[in-house]
Amino acid sequence: MQIQTRGYDSVLSLQELLSGVVPDKLSAALTGLLGAPARVVSADGAWVMSNAACLPETARRLPLIHDLEAAGFLETTAQDEARIRAVVSILEALMRAGARYFMASEMHLEVVTADYEELQRRHIALAESEARYKALSAHLEERVKEQVNTIESARRQLYQTEKLASVGQLAAGVAHEINNPIGFIRSNLSTAQSYVQKFQLLAEQIKSSSDLALLGAWKNADLDFVLEDFPSLLQESVSGADRVARIVSDLKSFSSVDQAEEEIVDLNDNIRSACNVAASQINSRAELKLSLGELPRLRCKAGHLSQVFLNLLLNAAHAMKQRGEIHIQSGVENGQIVIRFIDTGCGIPPEILARIFDPFFTTNDVGAGTGLGLTVSRDIIVAHGGSIDVSSEPDQGSTFTIHLPIDRRNT
Amino acid sequence: MAELDEAARKLTIKLVYYGPAMSGKTSNLIALHNLLSPDLKGEIMTLETQNDRTLFFDLLPLGFRTPSDWLVKFKLYTVPGQVAHDATRKAVLSRADGVVFVADSQSSQGVNNAESFQNLEENVRRVGLDFETLPLVVQFNKRDLPNVLTEEEIQARWSAAPWPLMMASALTGMGVKETFASLLESVYAALDPRFSLYETLGVDRHAFIHAVTGEAFANSD
């Protein structure tokens, strides 16, 4: 606000002093009061009220005093001294009123301007202080967000670690308990195989004997078939026991997820191990195809990465509406280990594609999944300095791509 | 700042009566209007609220013509004393050539006097005047009331102050003219070096004061 003030103590002209009255009316009133022609002129003669015509030389000229000085003159041909004095007095009173109004308004403007400037100053100071607080609060919000993210991530890790730890403990316990019986089952089966060979040697002698009763009983019991079938039964049992032993071994290595220490591994082994663990769930739904290229050995938390592979495998299996194919590729591209899980499942609708890594986001029925699998998978990959991306076509399938830096010291 | 208009042969001097609310600044002007008889004396123009408190200021114009036909005009202003009107006080104080600080002698008014005096010092600085050289007279008004500080107490309290101390009762007129004359002394002394008053106007200090107050020459020293 810029208001130009002249200052309440400016010198005022007669015109300004009389600006509060209508000149024509005042002129008429003066003439009426004096009963003779009259006019009001400024001290320097430049301004004449109502542009009244000049009066004869004989007209009287009386000073109109304002602020100790003549601001103008009353000219009149009237002769009545008392009336003239009264008119001068009235005019001076009008001039005083005009001056009073002028001074009051000028002072008012000065005060308002000063107050406004003071307000502006305080407003600016306030705005500055507000900006400081805003910046502080914005920063605060950021800090809180950061903290919340850190806590969230830690909580997910903790949740998953605890889950894996309990699964691992269970698996280790079960493996230990199964290992002993499977050991003696396997051993007994071998012994049984050697026993069957002894029976086969004996059979030749029995069949070549002339004891008809013995031969009849042999035939009735169909022991030829028994002896022929027995070794293959035992052989199947042996391979079955071997398979159980292998699964237990995979389960054991897989259960090492609770050991968060880093180890140096070939990730292809971890992929195979994950495939074995998930085999029962995959085989009924999809063909598993592995194209594993040679990988450099990687220092990593192998148990955690196995968990990621298992997650992706099971997700791929669950994505199958009808029997399809799961293709796992591994290799080195641009100095990074790249592992792809390509499925021919139902795909992910574009509208939820961006959210699949969000915590507790799940398309499974309540209770069927925590909605943490992909979140934790991403956390694990990111913790290894890598990244995980997804591309998907509804009804065509999805591809999850994991990038892991080979030398993490460079990331 | 006094204005010297060579062409119109006119010197205009601005004097301000400052002080706490209700200390008698307007009463001083009314008393001066009654007591003084200079050549030229205008009416007091008051800008007050309905309850007689000064809203913006009061103005009393006084003046005289020198033998060499110079017009010397004095504009005596009062300020509104209430704390809220600080912007008005500042505006009135700007370009002042001299100040009478009207204090209230009542013993209960010590704090108000002190605050107002401090406010004067601040505003003098804010309008760009020099408090060290500004002509200033301190008047203790309302001597006619009971419960006032004794003159000895006042003298003791203000002993370190360099300004003239005047006792007055604006309602009875006692000390009002003396206060004004005392200020004129300081103002003349302050303006003389700038305007060479005697050479320009042909009026010495005594004549100057006499002309405004209308006192006989013999009464001034």
> Is residue B16 pLDDT above 70, yes or no?
yes
pLDDT at position A124, please? 95
Paired sense of beta strands B45-48 and B136-141, if any: unpaired
> Is residue B107 pLDDT above 80, yes or no?
yes
Angle at B8 between CA B2 and CA B13, to 5 degrees: 20
Nearest to A68 among B45, B73, B95 (CB): B73
Nearest to B75 among A9, A110, A118 (CB): A9
> Is residue B7 pLDDT above 90, yes or no?
no
B91 touches chain A (CB under 8 A): yes
The mean-pLDDT minimum among A10-19, A259-268, B162-171, B176-185 falls in: A259-268
pLDDT at position B186, please? 95
pLDDT at position B219, please? 37
Q: Do A114 and B87 touch (CB under 8 A)?
A: yes
Looking at per-residue pLDDT, the higher value among B135 and A395 belongs to B135
Please tell me which residue of chain B has the smallest CA distance to A5: B91
Please tell me which residue of chain B has the smallest CA distance to A97: B45
- The 10s digit of each residue's pLDDT in A79-103 is 999 999 999 999 999 999 999 999 9
Binned at pLDDT 50, 70 and 90, residue A308 comes out as confident
Binned at pLDDT 50, 70 and 90, residue B216 comes out as very low
Of the ranges A129-133, A157-161, B134-138, B209-213, the best mean pLDDT one: B134-138
CA–CA separation, B163 vs A127, rounded Å? 44
- The 10s digit of each residue's pLDDT in A129-150 is 999 998 888 888 888 888 998 8
Q: Do B91 and A111 touch (CB under 8 A)?
A: yes
Q: Do A107 and B88 touch (CB under 8 A)?
A: yes
Task: Show the 3-state SS of chain B.
Answer: CCEEECCCCEEEEEEEEECCCCCCHHHHHHHHHHHCCCCEECCCEEEECCCCCEEEEEEEEEEEECCCCCEEEEEEEECCCCHHHHHHHHHHHCCCCEEEEEEECEHHHHHHHHHHHHHHHHHHHHCCCCCCCCCEEEEEECCCCCCECCHHHHHHHCCCCCCCEEECECCCCECHHHHHHHHHHHHHHHHHHHHCHHHHHCCCHHHHHHHHHCCCHHHCC
- The 10s digit of each residue's pLDDT in B154-207 is 999 888 899 999 999 999 999 999 999 999 999 999 999 888 888 888 888 988
Q: Which residue has the tokens 């069957």?
A: A196
Binned at pLDDT 50, 70 and 90, residue A11 comes out as confident
Q: Cβ(B97)–Cβ(B73) under 8 Å?
A: no
- Please list every residue in chain A whose beta carbon sits closer than 8 Å to the beta carbon of residue B85: 111
In terms of DSSP H, where are the helices of A209-338?
212-220, 223-254, 267-283, 302-318
Q: Which residue has the tokens 């704390």?
A: B83
Mean pLDDT value across residues A270-277 = 86
CA–CA separation, A274 vs A302, rounded Å? 11
Quickly count: other Cβ atoms within 10 Å of residue A330's Cβ: 19
**pTM of this prediction?**
0.59
Helix axis angle, A212-220 to A223-254, nearest 10°:
40
Paired sense of beta strands B54-65 and B71-78, if any: antiparallel
What percent of chain B is predicted at pLDDT more than 90? 68
| Closest CA–CA distance from residue B150 to any residue of chain A (Å) | 38
- Please list every residue in chain A whose beta carbon sits closer than 8 Å to the beta carbon of residue B92: 107
Paired sense of beta strands A387-393 and A324-333, if any: unpaired
Please tell me which residue of chain A has the smallest CA distance to B40: A68
Binned at pLDDT 50, 70 and 90, residue A372 comes out as low
> Is residue A15 pLDDT above 70, yes or no?
yes
What percent of chain B is predicted at pLDDT more than 70? 96
Closest CA to A341 of A391, A397, A404, A401: A401
ipTM of the complex: 0.85
Q: Cβ(B98)–Cβ(B186) under 8 Å?
A: yes
Paired sense of beta strands B10-18 and B98-104, if any: parallel
Q: How many CA atoms lie within 13 A of A12 on its CB side?
A: 23
> Is residue B215 pLDDT above 80, yes or no?
no
Q: Cβ(A157)–Cβ(A379) under 8 Å?
A: yes
What is the DSSP code string of A251-280? Answer: HHHHGGGG----EEE-HHHHHHHHHHHHHH
- Please list every residue in chain B whose beta carbon sits closer than 8 Å to the beta carbon of residue A67: 42, 61, 73
| Closest CA–CA distance from residue A29 to any residue of chain B (Å) | 25
> Is residue A153 pLDDT above 90, yes or no?
no
Task: Return the structure tokens found at A307.
Answer: 């968990």
pLDDT at position B217, please? 41
Name the average pLDDT for chain A. 85
Name the average pLDDT for chain B. 90
> Is residue A328 pLDDT above 90, yes or no?
yes
pLDDT at position A371, please? 57
Beta bridge partners of B76: B15, B60
- Please list every residue in chain A whose beta carbon sits closer than 8 Å to the beta carbon of residue B61: 67-68
Binned at pLDDT 50, 70 and 90, residue B220 comes out as very low
CA–CA separation, B49 vs B21, rounded Å? 14
Q: Do A96 and B43 touch (CB under 8 A)?
A: yes
Hey, is A74 helix, strand or coil?
A: strand
